[in-house]
Structure 1
Amino acid sequence: MAAAPVFAQEATGSSAQPEPTQSQAASGQDAVTLDRVEVSGYRRSIQFSTDAKRDSVTFTDTVYAEDIGKFPDMNIGESLSRIPGVQLSRDVNGEGTNIAIRGLGSSFTKTTLNGASIATASIGLDAQNQNREVDLNLFPTEFFTQLTVSKTPTASMLEGGVSGVVDMRSARPFDRPGTHLTYALQGGYNSTSDKISPNGTLIGSWTNESGTFGILGGVTSTRGKLGLEGFESVGWTNPGLTYTQCGLTPPAGTPATNQPAACNVGGGGNWRIPDTVPASGAAAGLTPGEVIDANWLLAHNPGLDINQISEALIPRLGRNVYMDGERNRDSGVLSMEWRPSDDLHFYLDTLYSEAHRTNNRIDMNLIGRNGSMVPVDMQVDANNVVTSATFANAQYFLEARPYREDVKFWSVNPGAEILFGDAQDVKLTVQANASRSWMFRESPTILVNSPITTVQYENTGGDQPTISSGLDLNDPNLGWSWTGGRVNINNEKRVTETQGARADLQFGDDKRNVKVGFAYDEAERRIQGFDNSVAWEQVVCRGAGTTCTGGPGSAIPQADLASYLRPGPYGFITVDFDRFMRDTNYYALRDSAPESNSANTGASTGGIEEKNWGFYVEANAEAEVWNRTLRFNAGMRYVTTDQTISGPVTLSGVRSYQSLDSDYKELLPSFNLAWDVADNVVLRMSGSRTMTRPNPSAMIPATNFSDPSAQTASQGNPNLAPYLATNFDLGGEWYTGGEGYVGLTLFNKRINGFTVNGVRRIPFNELGVPYDSLLPTQQAALQQRGGPDAATVDVQTQVNADGVLNIRGVEAIWVQPLDVVLDGLGFTANYTHVNQDSEGDGVPAVAEGVAPNLWNGTVYWEKGPVSARVSYTWNDDMIISGANQNGIPYARLNADARGQMDLSASYTLENLPSKPQITLNVTNITDEPLRTTFAWPNATYSLYYPGRTIMLGIRGTF
């Protein structure tokens, strides 16, 4: 096929396609002509990507929009996931949020907007995002013309991404000179929510006739409807057997009802089997009052031994879950360019996005955690996962949580390029940036309990356990009770801010030059949790009492509880939220909630501020080696980081904020070589040292110094060193013609800096705790050991491990037009394999959250006004957490392998004004779920059905 005359390189005789400029990548210029084949639409965007890759000296992949407002995917994350080595993290509703590159989690990816650092404050439906992740679903694809993933660095590139750097380039007026107006309207239907989600976009641009000034502005609005069904476990647990229940004699003076480690050797133990059969056991044919000892358990669970009963795994809170709400987003973009002469170029890029999200989340929980179920006829498999059982004395609770969340983001990026000298061979590039994002989420919780019942439990096949009882859980008048219930007010506020400036001076042209420059970046993230649960519970169900029973004085007494409940959409009850909140003074208590030490997402209250300076020198050149062009880039970046970590601490009963400082400096060398060894073959090699700063969540101070002898403390570690990687890449591509090429890359990373639990022994004065705040006994203990300057304290904290994590992998890609088979036909396919191993003690065996194998492919066909493509993305099974989940040492969380098929098609009405294009997009065609497991494949941790989404729209340009 490489010799076929339809390919441009045979037709033109050129040894390389020219690199597409940013204006070409998004412009409405004439279609690229490859002899007899006219390339337009999606195929033209592939052509630009191929040309950019060929002309790059680094290992880089780029996704282009063929025109302003027309990105090739509905989600930025989806476009990036089609790049080799890039894995997309999805929220529980299937929406792409963050990306991971080459075997490392999303915190190791540096994300920039128009070359400048950004941070987002959003969370997601089921994520914490308290580190360095950037949520991509805040950014409308319509505003962007180019996404670039740089897997190997240059010295002039912002540091911060051990795995790679993703840059999102927004549209500018001179991307398409002239006056233009683009519109798009679309409606999407999701099979789970069973609702229509409309969205619309309008983008206008204008440049004057002299080509010196231009302005572009656009708005987009989405009214998304959330609908999600699934199953959750909140982990798995096993019984905490007593001396009596496991058949051991307790030591003298020790109650036989204690739960010793000898009876629970596998850890866990959150499920407490009662000491005697409760009265409710009669419903299951049991005799109330019988002592539940080892013999009783063996007799009523034939075929099992005591160890199997002790290690029997059930969901901690096995629950069906339903989510319903809105995912609305409004965004705007404004860009101005001024080019008063060929030597001067000034620009200003701004972007604003805000999201309003609601989620009426309800789930029905079988109480395993801290529950008191009695197992009968229980069976387990070889891994001690319970496959079937009758549970007497069982109980459910409803957990209703109506989330409300608002997120905002804005950024501004002014910059300029100035040419000097008679030959215009000196170029000064300057840029400044600022961004801010903030989020507020309120997530109250209402929990009521069912009557005691008997449950039939089956886990013998399928994607989740089956849990059934004789109760009608969708009946508000079933007998739901406040006793043992609760209500919570949990709010969370987040703010992220970035600002900075960059400048470099280039001597020489764009191919042969020396650059010197600097960069300053400042980033800040603050998280605050707020909790007013006690006050609200006093109003709702405590009344004049001290516990939640719905007694006298309660705003919702037990007798009225049923009137606030409603049949739900998923087979169990929900709450009349509006009436409930109105009648319990919720809104005033929400607004006056005091700050707490953590949020219900698990994020700690606290903040981090970083000030980073970078100075670099970089050289770019070309040389002839054996009559073939060798292009190379080499340089050195020197970076300094000053960090201030702050968070609340409580000492001697007094809560106050504590700030801790740290700093470090690093040298980051890099080189990149690209050798055109043949007319259509490029070989590449790269070596570098890269850095990612430590996770803020491990650095927030949470000092606990309650030890009366003042010898031990626990604390966040602001002195965590950064993750540092030594990288080597080797690869190349064979360009088969047009947009076609075959590529192979081998990569290797040796990473230092992974954190583990450790102990630091430091002088008391370095602890950051005021001596005056200590109890008298603690002060005396310090004086006894030489005083606060000499006495040392053992601080339990996260520390950098001494070992090394090795990540080795291979990426393969094949992009090929097939016009010789069918005019307009083609495909793209790529595969990535990642292998990880560790050296030294305490280093995790794997970096969590990345599949060892992933691949994706797209078959496309474009002919005249018709365009269609089908894409499939596959992620292999992967580990997504550390060990020791729920106190069980061997337990990790895993994600099932998953594939997703998507369709995109369009038909252009070429003879009508604006050449309107009818578009059809279908995501998750085969309706694939998202499933995770706890240690074993049949221990479902979570299972979500995001559904299939069909989007029909129209788009055109005047």
Structure 2
Amino acid sequence: MKLRKTMLSASIVAALGFAGSAVAQETATVAQSSAAAQDAKDLDTVVVVGIRASQEKSLDTKRNAGSHIEVVTAEDVGKLPAHNVADTLQRLPGVSTSSSSANEGGFDENDRISLRGTSPSLTQTLVNGHTIGSADWFILSQVETVGRSVSYSLLPSEIVSQAVVHKTSEAKFVEGGSAGSVNVITRKPLEFANQISAEGSIGAVYSDLPGTTKPQLSGLFNYKNDANTFGFMAQAFYQERELRRDGQEIVGGFSTISATDPVAATNPDLIGVKYPSLPGSVYFTQTRERMGGLIELQAKPSDDLTLGLSAFYSDMDAANYNRNYMLWTGNFVPNQAPLPGYVVQNGVLVKADYAAAPSAPGYGIYDMISRPESAAKTGYVTFDAAWDISDKVSMKGQVGTTKGTGSTPTQNIAEVVTGRSGGGWQVRGTDNTVNWYLNNPSGPTTDGFGTWGIQYYDVIDKEDWMTGDFTWFGNGTLSSVDFGARYADHTREVNSPFGSDPGDIAGALAGAPVGSYPGDFGTGLGGSFPTNVWYFTQGALENAVNNNSTVRKDGARHNYGSEFNINEENLALYVQGNFEGDNWTANAGLRYVDIDQDIKYYRGLAGTAVTPDVSSLFGDFQRVRDQNSHSKVLPSANFRYNINEDLVLRLAASQTMTMPDYSALAGAVSLSNLTHTGTSGNSDLDPIVSTNFDASLEWYFVERGLLSLSLFSMDLDNYVKYGTETRAYVNDQNGMIENYEVTLPINSDGKVRGAEVSYEQPFGDYFGVQANYTYTDAEADGGDPLVGASKNTWNLSAYFENDQFNARIGYTFRSSFYHGMLRANQYFQDDFGTLSASVGWKATDWMSITLDALNLNDPTLNYFVADGAPQAFYNNGRQYYLNFRFKY
């Protein structure tokens, strides 16, 4: 069938957002908006090469889109210092990144995406318009803060043809992103210009903190026949690197001296005063090994029918070892008077020194935690069909399945008392590490060892779906009508079926091999704290645990309290009208969503009056099953008006919806019958519904130039925050139903208001700059902060490119933001910025050499809690990537 080019331009975003859509390209980068229902010969072929051309194509796509989007093309990924998709997206206006999803602290690679000052869970990530199973390697992300965001550490930049950030919604977009969505578009075989194409890269990454160099390999082969009716593409990647993170953590936060503590008798002025609990020197090392690939098949049995089969797999082994050498303040501060000269400021004991007391139980405590088999993997398989039924009607359909798995098969944990001769500290604010010391620390020692911890966690995130999308093509003002349906069956489950019995490993560790912290440990953090620290090697710890504890697979070490299973069946129907005039386009539609939830988890029992359903050495538990149904009609409308040849006005309004985090819905219930208080998840949470308004003005004042201003507003109904509620539970000591004051996630309301300014301009033939700034004002009811909301975010980059050389430098900054709850305290990450650069040389027509440098400013990531107390400091060092790229 034949479609007018004006319709094609107005439908770019719709084409990008659906299964069966494609992004045409030659070798690495040809980006044109092409729906599978359209005949390829009707499309202009645009070959995009280099930074300047890819920016031009990205701006053209943004300009012609029917809704407000940001676009990054494959050449952007290739030319920016970026090694997963999140690294690239962080430079776009309104986009923020974080390098962790729970409370594990920040690393050197961007892992989560959030839009316009909201939680990553409110930003949906799609691949070719469909969902992808999420997976995490870190245990806290697996079981503690289980959100709905996707880990970008499993999505290497090599698979990307184009990434589209949708800031406004349309009825035909898959629901799930209250703040917006990111659609990662892969390459398709029939879109390559040549019959045979091949690309590859051989390189290495040098990480300066661990001082290691590791390989980076990728390859692509594409074949299509002369008739352009069959194509096959295969991609593969293997990437390895070592991480070292130097840190300081105040593991226990700040504790309070009570009137009943022994020290209150000698020092009554310390009653109610806070002190740092367990400040520690933290040495974390990890080896990440990421490998996988993508296979795409396309066939055109006729001019009217296109079939596609796609399979993707990414597997990351993430063995890690964390050592935390701590001042055991909780063991002596409540019991012992500090030496004269201690300082209390604003209710905090900011400086104190302690002499050794007779028969003191210990002033230092040391944890060593090895997770040699931590891993995460994800993948999907889809089958697509695009059929031009007639000149008036086209259809696209897809069936698919995806599964992500995060696992921690083993935790080897040992703890030792280290130091019995006193110590002290000095708190220096949230921007500086805590100075602390131990007098005459002991070690290597086997005093007070124990081993514990879950030996196996398995977390599964999977979905099966089918879609049917239809387009009726009209004439005149009503250019087309889109309508269709989607059904999905999604399951998230956490399993902890067995563990090991604690064993006495003191004898096994006596005389075992030891190592020491690097000589330059902590130099990037500043301050004064122990750095010359010993540790048992990872192998020694593993051998000691294996030889002195028994893995129990008989159910005795089944940790029911950490397990849950959430199943969601989702049916969606939509209809959307698309309109156009001489200088304008618009769309408006409705999406109906119906979700049925089946939530299963366990409630711990503290007594014997209630007969437990299951028992283990972790306690007695009751099975709990809750079932909910949620339905909602989501309206949306977008309007684009070309004021003149260079000036575009956009207006948009919509309602969008996201389900609450999995861990919020199914967190375990823990109750105290003594105080009638407790903590809990909340399976009664309603979906988060956002009412959104967006207005933007885009001035394309020169070729590859843009100056734009956007204003946005989100009113979040049923936003999830933490609060307290009076809830009725069975008292498991007497069997009676009684009221408990429970801390749990609750529905509230929130709002986000903000503005974005973006500027891009070339200077002459070879130079150019890009800059953007986002301001966000966000809060929940009661003045509480919203997760992920940085008030100020900005990016600045400059580039040079000619026929042989290119260079780019960029700086990204975001102000402090609320990270979530930590021990019932609000937990924040402080301001930080990162500097990156890249240079490239086109040595021949078939080979180029690139050098990318990340985190050149060697940033320190600081964390603090709501009352201004420091919480953690991390330094990850710099990374340098050298790659030789080949193409045929």
Q: TM-score interval w.r.t. the shorter chain?
A: 0.7 to 0.9
The match for 1:652 among 594, 611, 615 is 611
Matched, 1:101 2:129: no
Against the structure 1 CA distance between its residues 195 and 565, is the aligned structure 2 distance closer, same or farther, given a 3 Å change threshold?
A: closer
Mapped partners of 1:736, 1:186: distance in 2: 40
Aligned partners of 1:460, 1:718: CA distance in 2, in Å? 42
Please tell me whether residue 468 in structure 1 is matched to residue 468 in structure 2: no
1:608 deviates by 0.8
For the Cα contact (< 8 Å) 1:449–1:485, is it kept in 2? Answer: no
Per-residue deviation at 1:836? 1.9
Measured in 1, the distance between the counterparts of 2:403 and 2:241 equals 24
Matches within 5 A, 1:185-196: 185-196=202-213
Q: Residues 456 and 69 from structure 1, CA distance in 2 versus in 1: closer, same or farther, beyond 3 angstroms? A: closer
Distance 2:421 2:554 in 1: 37
Mark the runs of 5 or more structure 2 residues left unpaired by the alignment: 1-8, 17-21, 33-46, 101-105, 357-361, 522-531, 605-609, 615-621
Deviates more, 1:943-952 or 1:584-593: 584-593
Alignment partners' CA distance in 2, 1:67 and 1:757: 44
The reply on whether 1:814 has 2:759 as its aligned counterpart is yes
What is the SS of the residue equivalent to 1:689? strand
Aligned counterpart, 1:133 = 149
- Within 5 Å, which residues of 2 pair with 1:752-771? 752-755=717-720, 756-759=722-725
Which has the greater radius of gyration? 1
Could you tell me which amino acid in structure 2 is paired with residue 619 of structure 1?
Answer: G
Q: Is the 8 A contact 1:564 1:580 kept in 2?
A: no
Question: In the alignment, does 2:379 pair up with 1:437?
Answer: no
Following superposition, the deviation at residue 399 of structure 1 comes to 0.8
Indicate how the Cα distance of structure 1 residues 17 and 734 shifts in structure 2: closer, same or farther if over 3 A, else same.
farther
Question: Is the aligned partner of 1:605 residue 2:605?
Answer: no
Is contact 1:69–1:143 with CA below 8 Å preserved after alignment? no
Cα 1:293–1:109 change in 2 (3 A) is closer
434 and 897 in structure 1: CA distance in 2 versus 1, 3 angstrom threshold: same
Separation in structure 2 between the aligned mates of residue 749 and residue 494 of structure 1, nearest angstrom: 32
Structure 1 counterpart of 2:55, which letter?
Answer: I
Cα contact 2:402–2:464 (8 A) shared by 1: yes
Which letter maps to 1:589? T
Aligned AA (2:136): S
> Helix, strand or coil for the counterpart of 2:684?
coil
Aligned: 1:925 with 2:868: no
Amino acid at match of 1:525: R
Asked if 2 retains the 8 angstrom alpha-carbon contact of 1:881 and 1:893, the reply is yes
Q: Distance in 2 between matches of 1:172 and 1:68?
A: 17
Per-residue deviation, 1:23: 4.1
Give 1:905 shift.
1.2
The superposition leaves residues 316-339 of structure 1 with CA deviations (integer Å, 9 ceiling, x where unpaired) of 111111122310011111001112
2:181 aligned residue (140, 165, 170)? 165
User: Residue 465 of structure 2 contacts residue 487 of structure 2 at CA under 8 Å; is this kept in 1?
Assistant: yes
SS of aligned partner of 1:482? coil
- The superposition leaves residues 827-858 of structure 1 with CA deviations (integer Å, 9 ceiling, x where unpaired) of 1111100012445xxx5522023211100121
The number of residue pairs the alignment matches comes to 814
Out of 60-69 and 229-238, give the one that drifted further.
60-69
Q: Give the superposition deviation at 1:398.
A: 1.7
Q: In the alignment, which residue of structure 2 is the partner of 1:142? A: 158
Aligned to 1:900: 834
Q: Counterpart in 1 of 2:630?
A: 664
Letter matched to residue 83 of structure 1:
L
Give the residue type in structure 1 aligned to 2:109.
Answer: E
The alpha-carbon deviation at position 880 of structure 1 amounts to 2.4
The reply on whether 1:830 has 2:797 as its aligned counterpart is no
The structure 2 residue matched to 1:879, chosen from 800, 818, 822, is: 818
Q: For residue 527 of structure 1, what is the amino acid of its counterpart?
A: V
Q: Which deviates more, 699-708 or 720-729?
A: 699-708
**Residue aligned with 1:51, SS:** helix
Picking from 640, 646, 649, the partner of 1:680 is: 646
SS in 1 for 2:599: strand
Shift of 1:76: 0.8
624, 644, 655: which is aligned to 1:689? 655
Instruction: Give the one of 866, 869, 877 matched to 1:947.
Output: 877
TM-score, with structure 2 as normaliser: 0.85
Question: 2:63 — aligned with what?
Answer: 54
1:597 and 1:109, CA in 2 relative to 1: closer, same or farther beyond 3 A?
farther
Amino acid at match of 2:267: L
Distance 1:866 1:704 in 2: 61
> Tell me, what secondary structure is at the counterpart of 1:483?
coil
CA–CA separation in structure 1 for the residues paired with 2:634 and 2:700? 32
The answer as to 2:347 corresponding to 1:384 is yes
Instruction: Report deviation, 1:90.
Output: 1.1
What does the per-residue CA deviation read over 1:459-487, in whole Å, with 9 as the maximum and x for residues that have no partner?
A: 347720122233255x42xxx34337554
- The corresponding residue for 2:323 is 362
1:82 matched to which residue of 2? 91
1:428 aligned to 371, 392, 395, which one?
395
* Distance change (3 Å), C-alpha of 1:123 and 1:908: same
One-letter amino acid matched to 1:561: A
- Tell me, in whole angstroms, the C-alpha distance in 2 between the residues paired with 1:805 and 1:720: 15
Structure 1 residue 370 displacement after superposition: 4.7
Q: Secondary structure at the match of 1:103?
A: coil
Give the partner amino acid of 1:163.
A
Q: What is the Cα-based RMSD across aligned positions, in Å?
A: 3.2
**Secondary structure of 2:562's partner?**
coil
Once residues 882 and 866 of structure 2 are traced to their aligned partners in structure 1, the CA distance between those partners, rounded to angstroms, is 41
Measured in 2, the distance between the counterparts of 1:27 and 1:846 equals 46
Pick closer, same or farther for the CA change 1:744–1:583 going to 2, 3 Å: closer
Q: CA deviation at 1:191?
A: 1.3
Q: How does 1:207-606 map to 2 (within 5 A)?
A: 207-242=224-259, 259=260, 275=262, 292=263, 294=265, 296-297=266-267, 306=269, 309-372=270-333, 374-380=337-343, 382-393=345-356, 395-404=363-372, 405-421=374-390, 424-441=391-408, 442-460=410-428, 463-472=432-441, 475-476=443-444, 480-483=445-448, 485-508=450-473, 512-529=479-496, 532=499, 535-537=501-503, 540-541=504-505, 556=508, 561-563=510-512, 565-569=514-518, 571-585=532-546, 589-590=550-551, 592=553, 594=555, 604-606=562-564
Instruction: Name the SS of the counterpart of 2:339 in structure 1.
Output: strand
Quote how far apart the aligned CAs of 1:866 are. Answer: 0.5
Does the 8 A contact of 2:811 with 2:835 survive in 1?
A: yes
How big is each residue's C-alpha offset from its partner over 1:255-280, in whole Å with a ceiling of 9 and x where there is no partner?
A: xxxx2xxxxxxxxxxxx5xx3xxxxx
CA distance in 1, matches of 2:761, 2:405: 44
Contact 1:514 1:617 in 2 (8 A): yes
Distance in 1, Cα, partners of 2:674 & 2:872: 43
2:798 aligns to what SS in structure 1?
strand
- Residue of structure 2 equivalent to 1:787: none
Matching of residue 747 in structure 1 with residue 716 in structure 2: no
Aligned positions of 1:38-53 closer than 5 A: 40-53=49-62
Q: Which residues in structure 2 correspond to 1:619-630 (within 5 Å)?
A: 619-624=577-582, 629-630=583-584
- Aligned to 1:44, the other structure's residue is in SS state helix
Deviates further, 23-32 or 717-726: 23-32
- Report the equivalent of 1:281: none
Closer/same/farther in 2, CA of residues 395 and 662 from structure 1, 3 Å limit: same
CA contact 2:414–2:449 (8 Å) conserved in 1: no
Q: Please state how far the C-alpha of 1:917 moved relative to its aligned partner.
A: 0.5
1:139-180 per-position Cα deviation (integer Å, ceiling 9, x unaligned): 111011111111111001011111111111112112313211
Please give the secondary structure, in 2, of the residue aligned with 1:50.
Answer: helix
Cα pair 1:69 1:144 within 8 Å, conserved: no
Following TM superposition, by how much is the alpha carbon of 1:952 offset from its aligned partner in structure 2, in angstroms?
1.2
- Report the Cα offset of residue 414 of structure 1: 1.3
Change (3 A) 1:588 1:415: farther
Q: 1:942 to 1:876 in 2, by over 3 A?
A: same
Could you give the per-residue CA deviations for residues 433-492 of structure 1, whole angstroms, max 9, x where no partner exists?
21111122122211111131121423347720122233255x42xxx3433755445431
Q: Secondary structure at the match of 1:79?
A: helix
CA distance in 2: counterparts of 1:357 and 1:53, whole angstroms: 37
Spell out, residue by residue over 1:85-116, the C-alpha distance to the aligned partner (whole angstroms, 9 max, x if none).
Answer: 11001142221101111111111111111111
